[in-house]
Amino acid sequence: MQTKTVINPFESALKNFDLAADVIHLEDNIRNHIRLPERELTVHFPVRLDSGNIISVTGFRVQHSTARGPGKGGIRYHPDVNIDEVRALASWMTWKCAVVGIPFGGAKGGVVIDPKKMSIGELERVTRRFTSEIAFMIGPDKDIPAPDVYTNSQTMAWMMDTYSMISGRTVLGVVTGKPISVGGSQGRNEATAQGTIFTIEKAARKLGIDLNGARVAVQGFGNAGAIAARLIFDLGARIIAVSDSKGGIINLAGLNPTEVSIHKELTGSVVGFKGSDPISNQELLELNCDILIPAALENVITEENAGDIRAKIIAEAANGPVTPEADLILHDKGIFVIPDILANAGGVTVSYFEWVQDNYSFFWKTKDIRNYLREVMDDSFDAVIALSEKHKVHNRTGAYAHAVSKVAEAIRLRGVFP
């Protein structure tokens, strides 16, 4: 049996940070300071199941940096969540907010549960108790959670309500990604995918690839993957394969992503969709295609399979799908990678718009959100590519160099307390 090396995402995050810190000649004191998160909380709490049994649940909230503003980042529900993964995700939020120039630091949370095995009532009780455990650490001007893997707008409504009950007043701006009727923003649900598609449009134009008829493979069919597939299909691209945690499907003539979503809604997976053939997640990644969108979890493209990737563009809708070792191989092969901290930054960008709207109690139209988002994504893409070309490094190091410089500047200007 082949043993798979376990890759620690926080070590990968630090490797990427160090590459950029070298490129921008970052001074040692700042380098040592921002390698590690500012604040980390681990909580263990009881939750009553529908059966009446009580289980003990572990959760985390990590604030990596608040140098540029309050902490910002999602909460993930997954059985494999661990502190190093949350540290990595929190640091990626710091760099992501800096890349797109929104005034937030980086944070992330995780709860170690298998949400697919829990009822709605159990999920609500987990969410409310977890929120109360981290309540002293979050707040609209302290640290603002949002959805991530296996959490959604309903989760955010429960978090907002719980925090508000504790505070004795309704605090809309404590979380983003809420339903529209309780302070959510137009366009937030599709924001991550929309941002990814805006960056793909820029990359395709740069490389002379016509999106009309381009072959696209999407790994992961959740909020980011399913909506990205639909948006790029609407631009005329051909979705040749998609997958989820249960497996993948392929049809070289093209899949209709809206019909695949309906199938997944009904059956719980994309697998078995009519007119498609089965394919593994691994095979999907190695397909001959123009654009590959990893939209699930970390470490799916490693030094073991990077040499077999045949896409022309990889757009990272997921956080951390490519390891630093794989980056070098992909770069040598001439594959154009749009790194996660740029490609999926549309989500947190519209989270920022939501937070601004909540604080002003004044809500914007869909077209305004879309125009602002496109401007942010286009400008950030140009800045990252310009830096990558200037320093002759791959796009991830260019993106980190851009982000780390901004965070370092904030740290320098703020100075050392006391």
Catalog residues that contact ligand GLU under the rule CB under 6 A.
72-74, 96, 146, 148, 176-177, 319, 344, 347-348, 351
Least CB distance from residue 309 to ligand GLU, whole Å?
Answer: 23
Least CB distance from residue 73 to ligand GLU, whole Å?
Answer: 5
Cβ neighbourhood burial of 179 (10 Å; 0-12, 13-18, 19+): middle
Least CB distance from residue 319 to ligand GLU, whole Å?
Answer: 5
152 or 164: CB nearest ligand GLU: 152
**CA-to-CA separations, 324 to 36, 60, 148, 365, in angstroms, rounded:** 19, 25, 23, 40
156 or 255: CB nearest ligand GLU: 156
Does residue 270 contact residue 222 with C-beta atoms inside 8 Å? no
Least CB distance from residue 347 to ligand GLU, whole Å?
Answer: 4
Element (H, E) at 74: strand 71-77
User: Rounded to an integer, what distance in angstroms lies between the CA atom of residue 415 and that of residue 418?
Assistant: 9
Q: Which residues contact 308 (CB under 8 A, 6 or more apart)?
A: 285, 286
User: Rounded to an integer, what distance in angstroms lies between the CA atom of residue 157 and that of residue 162?
Assistant: 9
User: Rounded to an integer, what distance in angstroms lies between the CA atom of residue 109 and that of residue 330?
Assistant: 30
The answer to whether residue 108 is catalytic is: yes
Indicate the DSSP class of residue 152.
-
User: Rounded to an integer, what distance in angstroms lies between the CA atom of residue 294 and that of residue 319?
Assistant: 9
143 or 286: CB nearest ligand GLU: 143
User: Rounded to an integer, what distance in angstroms lies between the CA atom of residue 73 and that of residue 94?
Assistant: 9
Q: Where are the alpha helices (DSSP H) in 55-152?
A: 83-99, 120-134
Helix axis angle for 9-23 and 28-35, nearest 10°, is 160
Q: Tell me the helix, strand and coil percentages in the chain, rounded to 5.
A: 50, 20, 35
Least CB distance from residue 99 to ligand GLU, whole Å?
Answer: 11
Least CB distance from residue 300 to ligand GLU, whole Å?
Answer: 16
Angle at 319 between CA 314 and CA 324, to 5 degrees: 70
138 or 329: CB nearest ligand GLU: 138
155 or 302: CB nearest ligand GLU: 155
74 or 173: CB nearest ligand GLU: 74
Q: Which of 96, 108, 178, 312 is catalytic?
A: 108
Least CB distance from residue 132 to ligand GLU, whole Å?
Answer: 20
**CA-to-CA separations, 417 to 73, 137, 411, 412, in angstroms, rounded:** 25, 20, 11, 12
91 or 251: CB nearest ligand GLU: 91
Which position's Cβ is nearest ligand GLU?
Answer: 74
Residue in 107, 155, 139, 96 with CA at minimum distance from that of residue 349: 96
Residues assigned a catalytic role: 108
